[in-house]
Amino acid sequence: MKILVLNGSPKKQSDTMHITRAFLDGMNQAGSHQVEVIDVIKKEIKPCLGCFACWKNLDGKCVQNDFQNEILSKILWADVIIWSFPLYCYGMPSHLKAVVDRTIPLAKMSMQEKNGTVIHDTLFDLSSKHYVVLSGCGFPDWEGNFDGLKMQCANMFRGHLDMVCVPETPMLSEPSAEPLTTPLKEKFKAAGMEYAQNLTLCEETVKMLETPMLPNEIYIQIVNANAAQ
Ligand SMILES: Cc1cc2nc3c(=O)[nH]c(=O)nc-3n(C[C@H](O)[C@H](O)[C@H](O)COP(=O)(O)O)c2cc1C
């Protein structure tokens, strides 16, 4: 399979990429794949101009000729697109949001009402694309933290979407937390194998991957003990 990873962390050492790498290891163990990783922060990708020139030109390209046109080609190339990024203010980081906004050259202005929603027609057949969203965050587990992001991704990545929202991910970059993070990475590796075999993750697997490594009160205690006052 052809796998495109869009790493949306702006950091040199991303917490989230620890689990994404484990997931890829698992996928690679289940078969041989072509993997392309793009560190979005390192690329020049301007915000969308809102000019809709792409919906007039219908050439699958943006009139701003920066790296986004390469990303659009890679999206068309890939069978599986893995979006790996930290939760920022209940959504995705702004530089990655620019990438998502600027996928509209793959769509057309014409729209259809379908199953209670309205969607744009697409310029290319994207129906076989599979999307995986792996998102980490700094809070412990609480209902609502990922709600906005989940809604956005369900609307943006229609069809084959698997989404894993992981709490407490700063622990993944903390060597002293290895007794807790190593088992989580092993679970992501197993999940990668499951995904490569079935092109989806079962509900129990997602639930297991999203289970906090530490109970909320202990995580909060540790964070607060290390926070500047
Ligand atoms: C600007 C900013 C906004 C953030 N917003 C949230 C948030 O809404 N909820 C949350 O749980 N964590 C939030 N975080 C914490 C990050 O998601 C967390 O540190 C994550 O582990 C970083 O992952 P990375 O190393 O892959 O970039 C925020 C961090 C930053 C810098």
**Residues 42-76 pLDDT 10s:** 999 999 999 999 999 999 999 999 999 999 999 99
What pLDDT does 8 receive?
A: 98
Q: How far is the CA of 159 from the centre of ligand 1 (A)?
A: 27
Cα angle 101-103-105, degrees, rounded to a multiple of 5: 115
Q: 107: pLDDT confidence band, cut at 50, 70 and 90?
A: very high
Mean pLDDT, rounded, of the chain = 97
Instruction: Give the other-Cβ count within 10 Å of 70's Cβ.
Output: 12
Distance 92 CA to ligand 1 centre (A): 9
Cα–Cα distance measured from residue 227 to residue 7, given in angstroms and rounded to the nearest whole number: 27
Residues in the chain: 229
**Domains in the chain: boundaries:** 2-226
Q: In testing the pocket of ligand 1, which one of 82, 87, 141 has its CB within 8 Å of the most ligand atoms? A: 87
Tell me which architecture the domain covering 2-226 has in CATH: 3-Layer(aba) Sandwich (3.40)
Residues 85-106 have a mean pLDDT of: 98
Mean predicted confidence (pLDDT) in 125-146: 97
Tell me the pLDDT band of 115, cut-offs 50, 70 and 90: confident
The DSSP call for residue 47 is P
Amino acid in the structure at residue 66? D
- Section 141-150 average pLDDT: 97
Name the pLDDT band for 128 (thresholds 50, 70, 90): very high
d(C-alpha 98, C-alpha 103), whole Å:
9
List 107's β-bridge partners, or say none: 122
Block residue for tokens 């970059």: 173
**Averaged over 121-127, what is the pLDDT?**
96
117: exposed, middle or buried (C-beta count within 10 Å: 0-12, 13-18, 19+)? exposed
**Contact (CB, 8 A) for 171 and 177:** yes
Give the separation between CA 215 and CA 171, rounded to whole angstroms: 13
Nearest to 180 by CA among 145, 153, 151, 140: 140
pTM tops 0.85, yes or no: yes
Q: Write down the pLDDT at residue 131.
A: 98
Provide mean pLDDT across the span 147-155: 97
Mean pLDDT of 162-171: 98
In this predicted structure, what is the pLDDT of residue 36?
Answer: 98
Residues with CB under 6 A from ligand 1: 9, 11, 14-16, 86-90, 136-139, 145, 169-170
Cα(31) to ligand 1 centroid in Å equals 33
- 159: pLDDT strictly greater than 90: no
